[in-house]
Structure 1
Amino acid sequence: MGHKVRVQNKLLQQLAVADPATGLANRRHWLEAAGDELERCRQVGRPACLMMIDIDHFKRINDSQGHTAGDQVIEEFAARLRHCLRAADIAGRYGGDEFAVLLPQADAGDALAVAQRALAAVRERTFGHGLHCTISVGIAAADPGLADTGAWVRKADAALYRAKAAGRDRVEIAD
């Protein structure tokens, strides 16, 4: 009985923090980690960055290939993203086809290197059903002037939208 309860508790803990489709952190858990990291940056003065990532033209995949193919792209992207990250980085599914990555103790150059690895990992191989995909990435460094985690995310999101406006399949770094 005790073993079964421990297994059930472990499963419940995993469900509380992970996105079931990708195994990455869910939005709530990722936002908590980002908030904790922003506080550490303020207290200790160490660098950190976050990346917001969108799968380019994802709606076209769902519309032309169906939601099952779209789900497969999301799962495969999450697996590829994991391989591009450093051990301390925390990737999360922010919503739909948008992902967020927290990069503790990383400056903009470190974050750019991670983002470029992710761009290459997506661009170089097809996804299930022979689909070619690209991603757009926005990067924002932690800054003492940030009001909260939401402001940090908005800063990275603005860079992401600049990447999309500039032609997609690219990285933009927030000012």
Structure 2
Amino acid sequence: MRNAPWLFAKGVVIGACGGIAMTGANHYPAVVLGLVGGYLAMTVMELTRSPAAPRLDVSSTRLSAGDRWLEFLGRHAPDWAKAAAADVELNQLIREGLRAAIDAERVRVLAVDEQGLLAPLGIPTRGGPRVEQSSPELVAIVGGGPSSVTPRAKGGYRWRFGVTDGGRVVGVVEAQTRAGSLCEKTRASIETQIEILWRAALAETSRRTQVGHDVSTGVLGRAHWLERGDAALQSAAARGEPALLMCVAVEGLRGLDDNGEMRRRDTWVDVISRTMRDVLRDDDLIGRFADDRFVILLSRMDERLGAVVARKIIARWAEASRSVGSDDAVAVRVGMTPCLKVDAETRVEHMLARAVKAVDRARSTNAPIANEPEAGAP
């Protein structure tokens, strides 16, 4: 297939143009269509040369590493394009694709944030290792250096390369394999295709974030939170884990609105949103349901631990309030409800109704925290 790279490139352009025409401004599926189009163009050429050739499996040793990679993308990239979490699915796509193409081991797909912290792509971690604490080879890659292929003492090699977007390195891919070294053209082709997919995932994640989040606080909006909340409860039910829902009410904001103190109101909203993000875990779902009400779904959490978290939120809020240096009559109350046995019938709306009832009771009794037990609980 001497003309394979040129034919693949033409397929990418044709597929991408067709994808853009069908999807409008959203180029995310267009990128996938382009890559799949390139693979299909190569397949058509091969079929016209050998009409009776049987379909080759991904694991076939008769295929080159580059062909196995393209075969894998042709089969799995369309499913990735439909995934709800583009970056998480891309992490898996890259790892499984490199295993299929080059029999890779210990594949790592690392995102590099603007502060220089490393984390698996799509899996947020708080306080991950810094780039400068990593190996010299990885530091060089993140610094904009070229990809590297180094031999391993046990045979085979280690392959590292960076992914750039917007003029900076946003990710690093590392893979080990016992196979012989890939040719430079094959490596460059795979690196380019992964970079295209990675940029598409970043763009799609950014678009979904803008659509699904509250603009002023950055937490989830109502519709997006409800959707994510039901999905989180389904996961908890499958794992047999408890869950707890909190409603956090910020009192006094409406008085600031009535007095025209919009900037001070926004300051307090920012304080409570930052307070919750500082206290809560990365996988806890925070949403804003009204100007003065936030909701939080905490997985793997019972009533006792929930009370500890609620007290931390209130204590951290008090510390942050002193830093504002204001006499505004703004206070925070927390209503919570646990679900010790999450099952397929558990709905986030039902838990939300109980949490709202709890925070209303906290207000009426002038208590900082109130709990509303689940139906049937003693």
TMscore range, shorter length: 0.7 to 0.9
Q: Which one-letter code corresponds to 1:134 in the other structure? A: A
SS at match of 2:245: strand
1:113 to 304, 308, 311: 308
Of 101-110 and 81-90, the range deviating more from structure 2: 81-90
> Residue 126 of structure 1 aligns to a residue in which SS?
helix
Deviates more, 1:28-37 or 1:142-151: 142-151
1:100 partner letter = V
Equivalent of 1:62, from 257, 263, 267? 257
- Which has the bigger relative contact order, CA under 8 A and spacing at least 6? 1
- Give the one of 18, 27, 37 matched to 2:232: 37
**Cα displacement (A) at 1:63:** 2.0
**Counterparts of residues 23-172 of structure 1 (less than 5 Å):** 23-64=218-259, 66-124=261-319, 125-126=321-322, 128=324, 130=326, 131=328, 133-142=330-339, 143-144=341-342, 148-168=347-367, 170-172=368-370
Distance 1:8 1:150 in 2: 31
Gap change, CA 1:58 and 1:127, over 3 Å in 2: farther
Q: Distance in 1 between matches of 2:317 and 2:369?
A: 13
TM-score (norm 1): 0.86
AA matched with 1:161: D
How far apart, CA to CA, are the structure 2 residues paired with 1:20 and 1:163?
29
Greater Cα offset, 126-135 or 158-167: 126-135
Query: Alignment length, in residue pairs?
Result: 174
Q: Secondary structure at the match of 1:51?
A: strand
In the alignment, structure 1 residue 174 sits paired with structure 2 residue 372: yes
Greater radius of gyration (CA): 2
AA matched with 1:149: V
- Does structure 1 retain, via aligned residues, the 8 Å contact 2:252–2:329? no
| 1:126-145 deviation digits (Å, cap 9, x = unpaired) | 36462453211111112558
**Alpha-carbon distance between aligned partners in 1 of 2:329 and 2:203, rounded to the nearest angstrom:** 39
Partner of 2:69: none
Letter in 2 for 1:158: K
| Structure 2 residue runs without a partner (length 5+) | 1-26, 32-164, 167-198, 374-378
Tell me the SS of whatever aligns to 1:100. Answer: strand
Structure 1: give runs of 5+ residues left out of the alignment.
Answer: none
1:15 aligns with 2:15: no
SS of the residue 2:297 aligns to: strand
What is the letter of the counterpart of residue 157 of structure 1? V
Matched-pair contact (CA < 8 Å) for 1:73–1:127? no
Q: 1:17·1:28 contact (CA, 8 Å) conserved in 2?
A: yes
